[in-house]
Amino acid sequence: MNVTFEKKDDLNGTISVNISSADYLPEIEKQLKNYQHKVSMPGFRPGKTPKSMIEKMYGNTVLLEAVNTAASKGLFDYIEGNKLNILGQPVLSDDSKIDELSKDKDYTFKFDVGMAPDLKLDVTAKDVFTKYVVNISDKMVDEEVDRLKKRMGTMLDVEAAEDNDIVYCSFDELDAAGNTFEGGAHADNAPVLTSTLKNDAIKTQFIGIGKDKELTVNIFDLFENNETEISHVLGVQKIGVNDLGPNFKLVVKEIKRNVEAELDQDLFDKTYGPGVVSTVDELKVKIKEELNGYYTQQSDHLFEHELIDKLVAKHNIQLPDAFLKRWLIDRHADKFNAENVDHNYEHEAEYLRNHLFEEKLMAENGVKIEEQDIREAAINYTKSMFGAYGTAGLNDELLNSIIEPSLKKEDYRSKMINLAISNKVRTVAKSLITIDTKELESEEFFKTVSEHNAKHHHNHDH
């Protein structure tokens, strides 16, 4: 067997595997003997079927398998022995495809390969990144207190509607004469929040209205021509909303009002547990701590995303794009074809550039992923899944009972390994660069986050 490598440029090459009959005939003999021992033919004792008959029945299949096995072994032994850093998998060249095989012939197979770029890492203290610190103002704390009072408030039935009440109504579609339209749209007990009404004339009709009162309303004016909301309220398909008559009879069924909770010990205990908070001032301190924690987490998330994005972009990592597109179509035909590969390729390329950068950063800084790193990633991931419900009850025993069986599943374990790598890469990158801090108001911060997300999603879409 003779294997050679032709490097076409820094990112592309062709491996030629020349195999002679001596490379594959022993495998053919071995497989034919296996078939001979296994095959049972009428008129012959088990294992005694003549070799000539076995070869006639299975010879082509065995020949194809033996030649493929020899070619694949020569290819991957060469890649491993010469430590070629390839991307994807080798793709058989078009001019190497053989329509028919026969014994005792020599064959040459050419495989195109895409090479990983020779990445020169350039991450130093000269790379300056900005981390945002959100100013938690007294106004923000007071707004959270107001939200808490509403959230912990009590819903009461009232006789007449005011602003911020919820008016539950029935709706019946009317015909041109103002009568109930037989077979028309109907809804029972649909909520209308008075504070959201934008049409002044309609809002005036709702303020002060009582139970069992009737109104004739224009459904499109009531819901600001929001087809989705009208569809949801009336239980009709969105496509049919424009076919509705505009006028509906509305009957008030009930009126609910959220009465804010008092800032007392009962509210404090329900919110934070018995005795944790005892005064309004202590409540505000607690809320400020939570806001600081929330915005710090959001700022860290934004910072780390921008850090990796910008460092990868700085390195201008080139890929064998044409080869990789061929490989995607060849190996993942269920997802990629000639029509969609250009559109879908960039997301794959972005992932690959990030992966190459991460590998290089870890290698040059002696970073390895240990089992403890994987478990830590799984623990943090599990805690984040329970974040909306609080993590007070997530003790070590419960966490272990969740992650232990999950880590035995290949997909989950692979995901946790990737998370562990990402965590390590970000930690290393932050230790190499210079970090400046900039204080922002919450509105400015969210504007910055929105701009980042819009750019990030745009890149993924294209």
For 154-259, CATH number? Answer: 3.10.50.30
Is the CB of residue 259 less than 8 Å from the CB of residue 216? Answer: no
Q: What's the confidence (pLDDT) of residue 388?
A: 47
Give the list of residues 6+ apart from residue 191 with CB closer than 8 angstroms, or none. Answer: 166, 167, 168, 169
User: From CA 303, how far away is CA 253, in angstroms rounded?
Assistant: 51
Q: What's the confidence (pLDDT) of residue 461?
A: 43
Is the CB of residue 283 less than 8 Å from the CB of residue 263? Answer: yes
User: From CA 353, how far away is CA 355, in angstroms rounded?
Assistant: 5
Directed axis angle between helix 442-461 and helix 280-315, to 10°? 40
DSSP code, position 117: P
* Antiparallel, parallel or unpaired: β 434-440 and 128-134: parallel
Dihedral sign from CA coordinates of 235, 236, 242, 246 = negative
SS3 labels along 144-211: HHHHHHHHCCEEEECCECCCCCEEEEEEEEECCCCCECCCCCEEEEEEEEHHHCCCHHHHHHHCCCEC
**What is the H or E stretch that residue 441 is in?**
none
Is the CB of residue 158 less than 8 Å from the CB of residue 209? Answer: no
Q: What's the confidence (pLDDT) of residue 221?
A: 96
Structure tokens at 403: 């992650």
Average pLDDT over residues 255-260: 94
Q: What's the confidence (pLDDT) of residue 454?
A: 80
Structure tokens at 421: 């790598």
Query: What residues form DSSP beta bridges with 154?
Result: 259
Task: Kindly tell me if the per-residue pLDDT of 165 is higher than 50.
Answer: yes
User: From CA 293, how far away is CA 420, in angstroms rounded?
Assistant: 22
**Confidence category of residue 52, pLDDT binned at 50, 70, 90:** low
Higher pLDDT residue, 64 or 5?
A: 5
Q: What's the confidence (pLDDT) of residue 86?
A: 96
Average pLDDT over residues 163-170: 95
**Confidence category of residue 66, pLDDT binned at 50, 70, 90:** confident
**pLDDT per position as a tens digit, 260-300:** 999 999 999 999 999 999 999 999 999 999 999 999 989 99
Task: Kindly tell me if the per-residue pLDDT of 162 is higher than 80.
Answer: yes
Task: Kindly tell me if the per-residue pLDDT of 460 is higher than 50.
Answer: no
**pLDDT per position as a tens digit, 389-447:** 444 456 788 888 889 999 999 999 999 999 999 999 999 999 999 999 999 999 999 99
Region(s) of the chain under CATH 1.10.3120: 128-138+270-461
For 128-138+270-461, CATH number? Answer: 1.10.3120
Q: What's the confidence (pLDDT) of residue 462?
A: 37
**pLDDT per position as a tens digit, 182-200:** 999 999 999 999 999 999 9
Global pTM reads: 0.71
Lowest mean pLDDT among 97-101, 112-116, 231-235: 97-101
User: From CA 440, how far away is CA 437, in angstroms rounded?
Assistant: 10
Cα 382 to Cα 19, 390, 425, distances in angstroms: 52, 12, 21
Distance of CA 378 to the CA centre of its chain: 17
What superfamily in CATH does domain 2-115 come from?
Answer: Trigger factor ribosome-binding domain (3.30.70.1050)
- Nearest Cα residue to 184 out of 252, 240, 226: 240
Task: Kindly tell me if the per-residue pLDDT of 48 is higher than 70.
Answer: no
Structure tokens at 298: 């959001």
Region(s) of the chain under CATH 3.10.50.30: 154-259
Q: What's the confidence (pLDDT) of residue 95?
A: 79
- Nearest Cα residue to 74 out of 5, 127, 8, 128: 5
Q: What's the confidence (pLDDT) of residue 131?
A: 96
Higher pLDDT residue, 257 or 456?
A: 257
Region(s) of the chain under CATH 3.30.70.1050: 2-115
Q: What's the confidence (pLDDT) of residue 46?
A: 64
**pLDDT per position as a tens digit, 295-319:** 998 999 999 999 999 999 999 999 9
| Mean pLDDT rounded to a whole number for the chain | 90
**Confidence category of residue 50, pLDDT binned at 50, 70, 90:** low
User: From CA 332, how far away is CA 322, in angstroms rounded?
Assistant: 15
DSSP code, position 278: -
**pLDDT per position as a tens digit, 322-379:** 999 999 999 999 999 999 999 999 999 999 999 999 999 999 999 999 999 999 999 9
Task: Kindly tell me if the per-residue pLDDT of 456 is higher than 70.
Answer: no
Residue indicated by tokens 């539950």: 168
